[in-house]
Chain A
Amino acid sequence: MQELIVILIDGLVFSSYLFMVSVGLTVIFGVMKILNVAHGSFYAFGAYMSATLIGAYYNTDLPEFGGFLAIFLAALIIGVFFGIVLERGLLRFLYHRDEHIIVLATFAMFLVLEDVLMMIWGTDPYYAYEPMALLGAVDIVELTFDVYSLTLIGLAVIVGLGLWLGLTRTKWGKLLLAVIFDREISQAMGINVTVVFTVTFVVGAIMGALGGAYIAPTISVSPGIGVEVIVLSFAVVVIGGMGSIPGAMIGALLVGISRAAAVHKFPEIELFVIYAIMALVLAIRPEGLFAPAQARKI
C-alpha cells in the first residue's frame, strides 16, 4: 500500500515534469506542423537562466519568496528571445520545404545552441536550491517528499488548464483553431497567419523554457540536460497524439507513472520502458491516442 502511494506520488511529479516539457512541443506541432528538436535547448537555456537569476536574486536582501518570480522571469526572457530569433530568423524561410528538412534544421539549431550554452555558462554545474529549501518537506505516509516537487503538479495543472481555456474559450484560441484546421483558407479569410505562427512559436518556447526553469532548483544544472528531454518529450507527444494538449497530459501520465513503477519495481528496465510504451501505443493506434483525424489525399 505504502509503495503504491509512493509510486503514485513519484509518478505524478514526474508526469507533471513531462507535461511541462512536452506541452510546448505539442502546441508548436499542432499549429505549425513542425517537430521542434531545438525544444531541448529551450529547456536547457531556461534551466541555466533560472539558476543564474535565482543565484543573483538571493545575493540581494529582497524577500525570500521573490525567488519564484526569478523562475518565471527566466522562462519569459528565454522563451521570447529564442522564440522570436528562431522563428523569424530561421524557420520562416523553410515553411515551404519538406517537413523532414524542417526537423533537421531544428536539429542543427539544437547542435548550435548546445555549444552556445557552454560558451555562456561553461561546463561547471550550477545549483539553485534556495526555492526548494524555502518550501521545506512534508511527510506523507511516513515518507518525506519535498514540497517544491509537489508544487510542480499544481503548476502543470494550471498550465494545462490555462492553455486549454485559452484555446477553446478566447477569440485568439478560435483564430488558432482555424489556422490549425486550414492554413490557406484562414489566410484568405483575413487571419494574419504570420503573426499567429510567431506567437505560437514563442508561447511554445516559453513553455519549454518554463519546464527547465522550474525544474532547475531540483537538479544540478549541467551540460547535456537538453538531450534527454527531447527524446522524452517526443515519446510523450507521440503517445498522446501530436498536437493534442489533452493527449500530452494523458501521455505524460502514462509515461510518468509507468516509469515511477519501473523505478521502484524493476529498476533495470527504467531506461526503455518509456520507448516500449511508445512503440506499443503506436503499434495499436498509429496516430497516437488523441490525434485529430486526417483527411486522405488522393
Chain B
Amino acid sequence: MRYIDKTVVGLTIAFLVLFIADFFMAEWVRFIGLQSLARGAVALGLLVLWRTGLVSFGHALYFGFGAYAAAMLTLIGYHDAFLLVFAGTLAAGVLAYLLGFLLRRYRAIFFALLNMAFSMILYGVIVKTEELGSTDGFSVLTPTFLGYAPQGEAVQTTLFIFTLVFTYIITVGVHLYMKTTLGGMSMAVRENEIRVEYLGYSAEKVIHVKYVFSGLVAGFGGAIMALAIGQVDPDSMANWTVSGEFVFITILSGIGNVGATYIGALVFELIRTYAFEYAPQFWQFILGGSLLAIIMFLPDGIWSLFSRLRRSEKAPSP
C-alpha cells in the first residue's frame, strides 16, 4: 500500500472546506479567518525557526516590512493583489537574507533580542517618517486581482480565496520540506550544533535558510494583513508587542504540526476579538491570562490535545 501523508490529507480537506465555506461565511467570520491565516503564516515561519531551536522576538520586522512594502506600492498606483503580496513577501525575504548573515551567528536569547532591536529600528523609522503617516499609518485601497476588480463583499471573498490558496501551498510546502534532509537538519541543529558541523553540514547555513524562509512568510502575512484591514500603522504592524503576539501564537499551537499554527492563530484571534468586544478594559488581562494558562497546563500547545486524545484511544482499557 502506498504511504499516505495524514497531514497533507488533513490540510487538503481543511483547504477544500474553507474554500467552499468562503461563499457562505458571515463577513465578520471571514475577516477573523483572513487575519488568522495571515498571522498563522507568520507563526509557521516561527515554527520552522523554533524547530531549529531559535525564537525570534522581532518578526514584526518582516511582518511590518511586508505590509508597508505592499502598502507603499498602492501609493504609487499599483493595486494588483498578486503583485502587492509578491512584492511584500520578496521585500521581507531580501531583508531577512541580508540580516541573516549577521543573525545566523547568534543563538538563544541573543538571537531573540537582536531581532527585536532590528524590528524596533524599523518601528522608529516608520514613526519618524511623516510621508508614511507616522504613528497613524495610512490606508490601503481595495486591491484588484489580475484585472478582476470586485466590489463590496466580493472583495473580501476573493481575498480570502486568494490567501487560502497561497497559505495552502506554503503550508504543504513546509510540511514536505521538513521531511527532506535539509529540513530534518532543523532538529539536529537544535539538539547539537557541533555534531552537525562534524557531520559535514554548516549549521549556520541551515539557520540562514530557515531564517530567510521565516522572513518570507512573515512578509507574506504582513502584505495579506495590509490588504485585509485596508490600513497599515506601526503600532499594530511593527511594534515589539506584535512580535510577542506571534510567539504567543506559536506557543499556543505547539510545534508538533504545521496545520496547528492556523488553529493557534484562530484561537488567538478569537480570544482577542471577544476580549476586546466584551471587556475592552481587560483584553490584555485576558490575553495574558490565557497565555499563562497555556504555558502552565498545555505546555505543548493546542496540538497536544489532539495527540493526547489519540493516545488515550489507542491505550488498552484497564
Please tell me if the beta carbons of A282 and B114 are within 8 angstroms of each other in the complex.
yes
Chain B, 120-136, CB within 8 A of any chain A CB: 120-121, 123-125, 127-128
Please tell me if the beta carbons of B281 and A118 are within 8 angstroms of each other in the complex.
yes
Chain A, 22-68, CB within 8 A of any chain B CB: 35
Please tell me if the beta carbons of A231 and B116 are within 8 angstroms of each other in the complex.
yes
Chain B, 83-113, CB within 8 A of any chain A CB: 102, 105-106, 108-110, 112-113
Task: Look across to chain A and name the residue whose beta carbon is closest to the beta carbon of B293.
Answer: A108
Task: Look across to chain B and name the residue whose beta carbon is closest to the beta carbon of A34.
Answer: B109
CB-contact partner of A235 in B105, B117, B288, B299, under 8 A:
B117
Task: Look across to chain A and name the residue whose beta carbon is closest to the beta carbon of B122.
Answer: A272
Please tell me if the beta carbons of A275 and B288 are within 8 angstroms of each other in the complex.
no
Chain B, 49-93, CB within 8 A of any chain A CB: 55, 57
Contact with B along A223-255 (1 / 0, CB 8 A): 000010001001100100010000000000000
CB-contact partner of B291 in A107, A272, A275, A286, under 8 A:
A107
Q: Hey, which chain B residues are within 8 Å of A269, CB to CB?
A: 124, 128
In the bound assembly, the distance between CA atoms of A265 and B175 in angstroms comes to 51
Task: Look across to chain B and name the residue whose beta carbon is closest to the beta carbon of A282.
Answer: B114
Task: Look across to chain B and name the residue whose beta carbon is closest to the beta carbon of A232.
Answer: B120
Tell me whether B150 is interfacial, beta carbon within 8 Å: no
Q: Hey, which chain B residues are within 8 Å of A99, CB to CB?
A: 108-109
Task: Look across to chain A and name the residue whose beta carbon is closest to the beta carbon of B285.
Answer: A115
Contact with A along B171-203 (1 / 0, CB 8 A): 000000000000000000000101000000000
In the bound assembly, the distance between CA atoms of A97 and B295 in angstroms comes to 10
B interface SS class: helix
Chain A, 252-292, CB within 8 A of any chain B CB: 268-269, 271-272, 275-276, 278-279, 282-283, 286-287
Tell me whether A159 is interfacial, beta carbon within 8 Å: no
Number of interface residues of A (CB under 8 A): 43
Q: Hey, which chain A residues are within 8 Å of B138, CB to CB?
A: none
Q: Hey, which chain A residues are within 8 Å of B248, CB to CB?
A: 104, 107-108
Q: Hey, which chain A residues are within 8 Å of B291, CB to CB?
A: 104-105, 107-108, 111
Surface stretch bound by A, among B26-34, B239-247, B305-313? B239-247
In the bound assembly, the distance between CA atoms of A73 and B11 in angstroms comes to 58
Q: Min CB distance, A121 to chain B, in Å?
A: 13
Please tell me if the beta carbons of A282 and B110 are within 8 angstroms of each other in the complex.
yes
Task: Look across to chain A and name the residue whose beta carbon is closest to the beta carbon of B198.
Answer: A298
Tell me whether A180 is interfacial, beta carbon within 8 Å: no
Residue of A114, A118, A272 with most partner-chain B CB within 10 A: A272
Please tell me if the beta carbons of B284 and A101 are within 8 angstroms of each other in the complex.
no
- A99-B109, A227-B241, A231-B240 given; name 4 further pairs at CB < 8 Å: A100-B247, A104-B291, A111-B288, A279-B121
- A residues with CB within 8 A of B: 35, 90, 93-94, 97, 99-101, 103-105, 107-116, 118-119, 227, 231, 234-235, 238, 242, 268-269, 271-272, 275-276, 278-279, 282-283, 286-287, 296, 298
User: Please, could you name 24 A-B residue pairs with CB atoms under 8 Å apart, sorted by A?
Assistant: A35-B109, A99-B109, A100-B109, A100-B112, A103-B57, A103-B109, A104-B248, A107-B244, A107-B248, A108-B288, A108-B295, A109-B288, A109-B292, A110-B288, A111-B285, A112-B284, A115-B285, A118-B281, A238-B113, A275-B117, A279-B117, A279-B118, A287-B110, A296-B194
